[in-house]
């Protein structure tokens, strides 16, 4: 049982980071997306040129919230 408790405390997915994002895909070509994402909680809009960039923008936004950073992450 103690082993299960250790696993739970080290699980990176236990961290509760949430946000509301609105994604508008303008173009879907060359196997990727291009468009805009709005972080609704902070009213910040960003343009993305690939699906990977979209994921990174969302991740950076949630990371900045989790460390208490109120600075806008590269606002456009």
Q: Is the pLDDT of residue 17 over 90?
A: no
pTM for this predicted structure? 0.64
Q: Rounded to an integer, what distance in angstroms lies between the CA atom of residue 14 and that of residue 74? A: 27
* Phi-psi label, residue 19: left if phi above 0, alpha if psi -120 to 50, beta otherwise: beta
Q: Is the pLDDT of residue 23 over 70?
A: yes
Please give the pLDDT value at position 11: 58
- pLDDT of 55 reads 95
For the chain, the structural domain boundaries read 19-70
d(CA 70, CA 39): 13
What pLDDT is stored for residue 63 in this prediction? 85
């Amino acid at each position: 049982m103690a082993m299960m408790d250790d696993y739970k405390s080290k699980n990176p997915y236990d961290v509760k980071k949430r946000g509301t994002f609105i994604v508008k895909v303008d173009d879907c070509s060359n196997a990727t997306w291009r468009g805009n994402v709005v972080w609704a909680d902070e009213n910040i809009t960003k343009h993305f040129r690939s699906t990977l960039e979209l994921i990174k923008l969302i991740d950076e936004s949630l990371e900045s919230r989790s460390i208490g950073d109120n600075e806008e992450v590269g606002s456009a």
